[in-house]
Amino acid sequence: MCGLAGFLGGSPAPLADRAALLAEMARQIRHRGPDHGDTWCDPDKPFGLAHRRLAIVDLSAAGQQPMAAASGRYVIAYNGEIYNHLEIRAELERAGAAPRWRGHSDTETLLAGIDAWGAEATVRRAQGMFAFALWDRQTGILTLARDRLGEKPLYYGWQGTGQARTFVFGSELKALRRHPAFEGSINRDALCLFMRHNNVAGSHSIYQNIAKLPPAHLLTLSLRAPEPVLRPYWSGAAAALDGVRHPFPGTPEEAVDSLQALLRDAVGRQMMADVPLGAFLSGGVDSSTVVALMQAQSSQPVRTFSIGFHNSDYSEAAYAKAVAQHLGTSHTELYVTPEHAMAVIPELPASYDEPFADSSQIPTLLVSQLARRHVTVSLSGDAGDELFGGYNRYQITAELWQRLSRVPSSVRAAAAWGLTRLSPHRIDQLAATLPIASRWNNLGEKVHKGAGVMAARSSAELYRGMVSHWHHPQTLVIGGTEPDSVVPALDALTDVERMMALDMLGYLPDDILTKVDRAAMRHSLETRIPFLDHRVVEFAWRLPLACKVRKEAGGYTTKWVLRQVLDRYVPKALIERPKMGFGIPIDAWLRGPLRDWAEDLLDERRLRQQGYLDPEPIRSRWAEHLSGRRNWQHPLWCVLMFQAWLAHERVQQPTFDNEACEAVA
């Protein structure tokens, strides 16, 4: 795992000055690669690459970057792992296209493949996670690439004007900010997206004219053709549609066998490392499956890591410990105090680099810090919910729409008014006496949230409302207009499948993978996600929905096929329990120890002076939250994370000190 940065164009400058600037850009992301750093400048064109290395495979100098191809035509800066790179090497050797290998790094394999087949044909062969910048010295064309599901980040954009106009790119925005052409204007439209989704969604960034490369895309441009050309080399939407059209033909038992074999292979490939390796373990279905398949292929106890809280409502540590003991892993757990967890909050703006408000970012940073004390690579169980129907909201929304769609919208609006006459707390009290109490936690909040979207015209619109934090963000963000969402045609899918697909294409890369990547790389820890092997993704979509979600007595069983795999390794009694998110009690903290911090950031005068957000709805929700009448933790956390980021961003030094950078270089 590594970090990269670079630029194309801009004002002419001596090679030494360009190298110093690149070194300074790379210094900002040193946490992504503390083991080695270097720069490369084209002597004939205004182009440069910087790289920071976290050495995982081939720890020798033969794996250092930026790396030139054996032919000398291409130079690459690459972040990620290609898990099948040895097979790609073998294919190159069979074709007589392999160079004389200098080492055994996957970077060298990637370059050799590009030399032989081109970038697109090579990434189509690759199984892995990656983002890279490739410079073609012969044509002067820059190619940027990102992996299929979006595990690794890559930002880019033209900045500056006139002779200083420069195309900048990098793994994190903080590297781009160091370039003297960087403008730093906040994108109010992207801020609307953030307030709805708790992340800057899609290809947008918080800055004007800076974008994220979408997953499964290549981008090319040159000084002669400066408009970026994007083209996909794989499609998650197509994988979902093709899977539904060509379902797995076997029995459910055969589906379990096939999934087990495929996951075992994916996990085995991702255990490739020349450094210590372990796994996050929450004790839930997804992480327990990954750890079980790791331990089944390891001759030594696998290192596993869990974070626990003394508040049992937010802690799964006891379950994780029981799974670890059953599997025989070498388990490390850390119980953290609220004070320890809250101490992470000042780090969030620097760690996440742009506004990000999934509060599980805090325990994710803590467990990454814990794991890094012992290992350099950690496998994760992320993406199991999106691929195998693990979120209760899928069924809740589908059932709700089934009923709502039969009722005229005017009647629904009246019903919504009626539902909100009772407070969430009172609804929870009443629900505690009903059978559904064991199925839906925090029902009162869900009812109030559902009431706000009862006028939806489709299940997709209903779902969007259910997962939104601010329902009308353009009324909150001054001068902002929420961009239209680019939603692929998914009409062939059922309501539940459509929600799963939308989460895979949006929520997964924008929230889950961003959260994990930034938290882990903040501590120089590489994370790997076996469920995102694209072969697993494509197979999961071939499985009938009944293999994922089954209606049984007392409710639904989610991730059925995955549970059957896990049952072969871990007793059901250790796993079967209500789903628990990886969260913290932000609602209570905002009324208690975080109250003064939040009050300062939400100060009405401060908000008015900044001119980004309308103070009125914020202050209203803040007052309701403090009173205990409503739990507005999620929308308030969005505002607080933007405010904290804004305060941090404003104290950054955007100017470039050439003398200081020469000392760094």
Residues 466-480, mean pLDDT to the nearest whole number? 94
The boundaries of the domain holding residue 6 are 2-234
Same domain, 8 and 57: yes
Q: Cα(651)–Cα(79) distance, rounded to whole angstroms?
A: 29
Same domain, 11 and 45: yes
332: domain CATH number is: 3.40.50.620
DSSP, collapsed to helix, strand or coil, labels residue 599 as: helix
Residues 222-247, mean pLDDT to the nearest whole number? 97
Q: Rounded to two decimals, what is the model's pTM?
A: 0.92
Q: Is 656 a member of any domain?
A: no
Is 628 annotated to bind ligand? no
Which has the higher per-residue pLDDT, 115 or 440?
Answer: 115
Position 410 confidence tier, pLDDT thresholds 50, 70, 90: confident
Q: Cα(408)–Cα(616) distance, rounded to whole angstroms?
A: 33
Residues 656-662, mean pLDDT to the nearest whole number? 37
Q: Cα(78)–Cα(154) distance, rounded to whole angstroms?
A: 11
The pLDDT score that the predictor gives to residue 406 is 83
With CA atoms as reference, report the closest residue to 194 among 310, 349, 354, 49. 354
| Residues 125-160: tens digit of each pLDDT | 999 999 999 999 999 999 999 999 999 999 999 999
Is 381 annotated to bind ligand? yes
Domain termination residue (choose one: 548, 574, 600): 574
Same domain, 83 and 174: yes
CB atoms within 10 A of CB 657: 13
With CA atoms as reference, report the closest residue to 340 among 316, 311, 320. 311
| Residues 532-552: tens digit of each pLDDT | 999 999 999 999 999 999 988
Which has the higher per-residue pLDDT, 197 or 338?
Answer: 197
Q: Is 208 a member of any domain?
A: yes
The pLDDT score that the predictor gives to residue 652 is 53
The pLDDT score that the predictor gives to residue 239 is 98
Position 654 confidence tier, pLDDT thresholds 50, 70, 90: very low
Domain termination residue (choose one: 179, 212, 234): 234
Domain termination residue (choose one: 427, 458, 493): 493
Same domain, 366 and 507: yes
Q: Cα(592)–Cα(603) distance, rounded to whole angstroms?
A: 17
- Block residue for tokens 């059925």: 560
Q: What is the mean pLDDT of the chain?
A: 91
Q: Is 458 a member of any domain?
A: yes
Weakest mean pLDDT among 196-210, 338-352, 437-451, 569-583: 437-451
Same domain, 256 and 361: yes
Residues 640-645, mean pLDDT to the nearest whole number? 98
Tokens of residue 352, six digits: 């996440």
Query: Which residues 6+ apart lie within 8 Å of 263 measured at CB?
Result: 289, 293, 530, 531, 536, 565
Q: Is 660 a member of any domain?
A: no
Given a cut of 80, whether residue 582 has pLDDT beyond it is no
Q: Is 664 a member of any domain?
A: no
Query: Do strands 377-379 and 277-280 pair parallel, antiparallel, or not at all (unpaired)?
Result: parallel
Residues 562-588, mean pLDDT to the nearest whole number? 86
Taking the alpha carbons at both ends of the chain, their separation in whole angstroms is: 22
DSSP string, 527-592: EE-GGGSHHHHHHHHHS-GGGT-EEETTEEE-SHHHHHHHHTTS-GGGT-S----S---HHHHHHT
The pLDDT score that the predictor gives to residue 337 is 85
Q: Cα(619)–Cα(113) distance, rounded to whole angstroms?
A: 56
Could you tell me which residues are beta bridge partners of residue 456? none
| Residues 72-91: tens digit of each pLDDT | 999 999 999 999 999 999 99
Position 580 confidence tier, pLDDT thresholds 50, 70, 90: low
CA distances from 58 to 54, 78, 319 (A): 11, 14, 36
DSSP, res 510: I
Same domain, 567 and 635: no
> Cis link prior to 66 (omega < 30° from 0)?
yes
The pLDDT score that the predictor gives to residue 435 is 61
Position 429 confidence tier, pLDDT thresholds 50, 70, 90: confident
Same domain, 471 and 569: no
From its phi and psi, is residue 657 left (phi > 0), alpha (psi between -120 and 50) or beta?
beta
Radius of gyration for the chain, computed over Cα atoms and rounded to the nearest angstrom: 25
Same domain, 48 and 90: yes
The pLDDT score that the predictor gives to residue 633 is 95
**Percentage of residues in the chain having pLDDT higher than 70:** 92
Q: Is 533 a member of any domain?
A: yes
Same domain, 332 and 422: no
The pLDDT score that the predictor gives to residue 310 is 78
Tokens of residue 652, six digits: 């950054």
Q: Residues 588, 590, 593, CA angle at the centre, nearest 5°?
A: 90
Which has the higher per-residue pLDDT, 390 or 312?
Answer: 390
The pLDDT score that the predictor gives to residue 659 is 39
Burial 538-551 (b: 16+ CB within 10 A, else e): bbbbbbebebbbbe
Same domain, 404 and 275: no
Sign of the four-CA dihedral 626, 632, 637, 640: negative
Is 312 annotated to bind ligand? no
With CA atoms as reference, report the closest residue to 2 among 47, 84, 46, 67. 67
Q: Cα(92)–Cα(196) distance, rounded to whole angstroms?
A: 47
Q: Cα(550)–Cα(571) distance, rounded to whole angstroms?
A: 20
Residues 407-433, mean pLDDT to the nearest whole number? 72
Count up the domains in the chain and report the number: 4
Q: How buried is residue 471: exposed, middle or buried, by Cβ count under 10 Å (0-12/13-18/19+)?
A: middle
Given a cut of 50, whether residue 658 has pLDDT beyond it is no
Same domain, 35 and 184: yes
Is 307 annotated to bind ligand? yes
Same domain, 300 and 349: yes
Catalytically active residues are 2
With CA atoms as reference, report the closest residue to 394 among 535, 493, 316, 470. 493
